[in-house]
Structure 1
Amino acid sequence: MTALASAPDGVDVVRALPAGDGVAAPARPPLLVLEPLGRFLDGVGMPAGELAWRRIGDGQANVTYELRRGGERVVLRRGPRPPFPPSAHDMLREARVVAAVGAAGVPVPVVRAVCDDPAVVGAPFYLMELVEGQVVTDHLPAGFDGRGARADLVHAAVDALADLHAVPLDGDVAGLGRPDGYLDRQVRRFAQLWPLNTRRSVPLVETLAERLAATVPASDRAAVVHGDYRLGNLMFAAPGRVAAILDWEMATLGDPLADLGYLVATYSAPGAAPTPMDLTPVTAGPGFPTRTDLVDRYAARTGADVGELPWYEALALWKSAIFCEAIYTRWLDGQRPDDSFAPALADGVPALAEAAAHALHRHERGSR
């Protein structure tokens, strides 16, 4: 685990922004600005003391920090460095979503405070209470490595998804979106994002947009859709218990099979062609349920007809290609630090498009 820091690094974290006439803004805006953040924390009642922080999570877009001051720990979540498309990385809406689903009984962190003033850290953000638990992606923590625990872990993730999709669409939850036409809007919106996100030609991405639009399934039910439901966005209190579902930026009301398709598409399986969305490499090891096991358990819990799930997998992989291309372009523009993920998207985005095409071919053959 990364240790907490208490001294600015001058890049991601600074004490204060330069002020005065003629003073140029930093080429790469910081992610935390400590002096105005400290004043905000004073205003929401966080105990006084030296502020320490560490970046947490594996998200490639929004940014999450643990903050510690005066013996209290909270989590700050904000968008990435600008620029980014309008309506993207809307942390104020995400905070409203978290509060609404939390009130409906979904396991989420408690929202502590919301800040709509970008002058504090450079972007709107919200604070939430810290939830203790384990996030499982590329290794198994102690206590999670038994063969039975591996199945319990995955079954708990599927059951939490089924429970989310059973939340009544009333009260504040009813205002989270418009379920009618959800799939058509998803295809149309991401097709429009592709030319904004890329500077190269990947013809298969555009071809898939046409094929997906021509084969949209008829949705037979509506639910809260998380939009990024994967093991890496779950915190486990124990192998069989989900403590919190994280990262709600893309949540809305729509077709719940979109979440199941995304979970399956990001669930690493032995022998599957690798893509940048193999986000749980640990599950390719022995003792873990298969992708088919996930689907069958969800169907048994919900009664859902999963016969067209390959279309939803194709949608998930195609959308992933488009938002991964945005990450790649931001890296090319110097808006992301050098890392192993972004440059690999030069080949990774076409690989995602190929995986989406394969899933769509399975759908067209009527094969799961």
Structure 2
Amino acid sequence: MMHTVPDGVEVVASRDRARHLDIPPLLVLDAVTGFLDAHGIGSGPLAWRRIGDGHSNITYLIERGGDRVVLRRGPRPPLPKSTHDMVREARIQKALRGHGVPVPEIVAVCEDESLLGVPFYLMSHLDGTVVTDAIPAHLSSREQRGATGEAVVDALVALHGIDVTEGELASLGSPDGYLRRQVDRFSGLWEANASRALPAVERIADWLGRNLPASQGASVVHGDYRMGNLMFAPQAPARVLAILDWEMATLGDPLADLGYLTATYSEAGAPTTPLELTPVTRAPGYPTRVQLADRYRSRTGLDLTPLPWYQTLALWKAAIFCEAIYTRWQRGERPHDTDFGPSLEAGVPRLLTAAAQYAGLISTPRA
């Protein structure tokens, strides 16, 4: 349902009203309206609806005079250094679109933080389906469930096949030393954001550092590649219409994406974690984690022997990222979060347990 009346907390009518709030709002209607006017998008009053399942950056569908765009912004300040860079995220998608990667068209970018307190961008609205906690009717047959999983892998293979040695994509970062930087960076993020002592974080970090695999290539790494960040075409057969949420994208080791995809993928019989954002893949007909990995290997020729290391990295990073959200929730910086934030008290330790099992630091319980 689209909204037209501000709630006075998350969405306010004016910047003057925003200045009187203890916690800054996420959407300021007069500021957004002025930005839309400056770019010739629609006319008259606007309506909005928060969309997506993200717990980091925030996305709204904006409707105005028959025009529809999607606004994406970072969370409330203060923001950790080098995170939630909307300008960079928009630039990445523009570059990838030029290589044929299915991404929304970037309509406009706002670097002026005075409007919403953070930079934001507008992208085209696509008529598609995101698979999360319900199986879309057109993708519900056993055949289409299998095809959906295969399409997830095939889109990742295509992304990883792009040449990143020249052109604008080459400026996204240096893939050399990527894995070591990931371990070092997230160790630092834990120290900066943790609100409690969880010794498993350091134990797993030490294991990761002592067992770094040799990267077999360099590619664009999405960083949060999962089914819930893909939009599928609104009719069968299963086809990826767009890859969403490029906040974490950089150049690095392609198996980091495969490790994250498989470690966070919901599979029948596997324990749940806070990263289970598309639980429907537990249903019959969807590929298993092993089948996803096998399809990727058959199309890339990469050696997946070290995949457990990448799966450990993925869940360890997820635990650290979720702990930052938990800390923000404890500080009252997520006032509408009555579910996800409090769930992380137990959820973060569950992620660390799963990471330790992939690393072989603790045994995996038998089903």
Contact 1:308 1:363 in 2 (8 A): no
The answer (yes or no) to whether the contact 1:311–1:363 under 8 Å persists in 2 is no
Structure 2 CA distance, aligned partners of 1:363 and 1:182?
26
1:157 is matched with 152
What do the CA deviations read for 1:321-344 (whole angstroms, capped 9, x no partner)? 000000000000000123211101
Structure 1 residues 362 and 298, CA gap change in structure 2 (3 angstroms)? farther
1:209 matched to 2:205? yes
**1:56 corresponding residue in structure 2:** 51
For 1:262, the aligned partner's letter is: Y
* C-alpha displacement of 1:25: 4.0
Counterpart contact for 1:73–1:129, Cα < 8 Å = yes
**Equivalent in the alignment of 1:172:** 168
Does the 8 Å CA contact 1:32/1:122 hold for their aligned counterparts? no
> What whole-Å deviation, never above 9, does each CA across 1:110-155 have from its counterpart, x for those lacking one?
0000000111122100000011110001110111110001001010
Structure 2: gaps of 5 or more residues: none
2:28 alignment partner, one of 14, 23, 33? 33
Name which of 208, 218, 225 aligns with 2:221. Answer: 225
1:346 aligns to what?
Answer: 345
Other structure's SS at 1:149 match: helix
Query: Could you say which residue in structure 1 is the equivalent of 2:191?
Result: 195
Q: 1:175-186 counterparts in 2 under 5 A? A: 175-186=171-182
Residue 279 of structure 1, CA deviation: 2.0
TM-score, normalised by the number of residues in structure 1: 0.95
1:91 maps to 2:86? yes
Structure 1 counterpart of 2:356: 357
Offset of residue 239 of structure 1: 4.6
Task: Output the CA distance in 2 between the equivalents of 1:239 and 1:182.
Answer: 36
Mapped to 2, the partners of 1:230 and 1:61 lie a distance apart of 15
- Give the Cα–Cα distance (whole angstroms) in 2 for the partners of residues 145 and 75 of structure 1: 27
SS in 1 for 2:360: helix
> 1-side partners of 2:56 and 2:308: how far apart?
26
Alignment partner, residue 321 of structure 2:
323
For residue 67 of structure 1, give the secondary structure of its aligned residue in structure 2.
strand
Could you tell me which runs of 5 or more consecutive residues in structure 1 were left unpaired when the two chains were aligned.
none
More displaced stretch, 330-339 vs 148-157: 330-339
Letter in 1 for 2:59: T
* Matched residue, 2:75: 80
Partner residue in 2 for 1:248:
246
Match of 2:288 among 262, 272, 290: 290
Is the CA contact 2:356–2:362 (under 8 Å) kept in the aligned structure 1?
A: no
Quote the residue 2:130 is aligned against: 135
3-state SS of 1:143 partner: helix
Superposed structure 1 runs of 4+ greater than 2 Å apart: 362-365
1:280 Cα shift?
1.6
CA–CA distance in 2 between the matches of 1:121 and 1:134? 28
2: CA distance between counterparts of 1:97 and 1:246? 11
Secondary structure of 1:202 counterpart: coil
1:115 and 2:110 aligned: yes
Q: For each residue in 1:250-308, what CA deviation from the matched residue of structure 2 results, as whole angstroms up to 9, or x when unmatched?
A: 00000000000000011101111221112221001111111000000000111111111
Return 235-244 or 311-320, whichever deviates more: 235-244
**Contact 1:309–1:363 (Cα < 8 Å) also in 2:** no
Q: Residue type matched to 2:14 in 1?
A: A
The answer to whether residue 11 in structure 2 is matched with residue 16 in structure 1 is no
Q: 1:71 aligns with which of 66, 74, 90?
A: 66
Partner Cα distance (2:361, 2:191) in 1? 27
* Alignment coverage as a number of residue pairs: 360
Distance in 1, matches of 2:190 and 2:7, equals 35
Change (3 A) 1:79 1:239: farther
Provide the rounded CA distance (Å) in 1 between the counterparts of 2:331 and 2:43: 39
Q: Aligned partner of 1:284: which letter?
A: R
Give 2:274's match in structure 1, choosing from 273, 276, 281: 276
User: Quick one: percent identity of the two aligned structures?
Assistant: 57
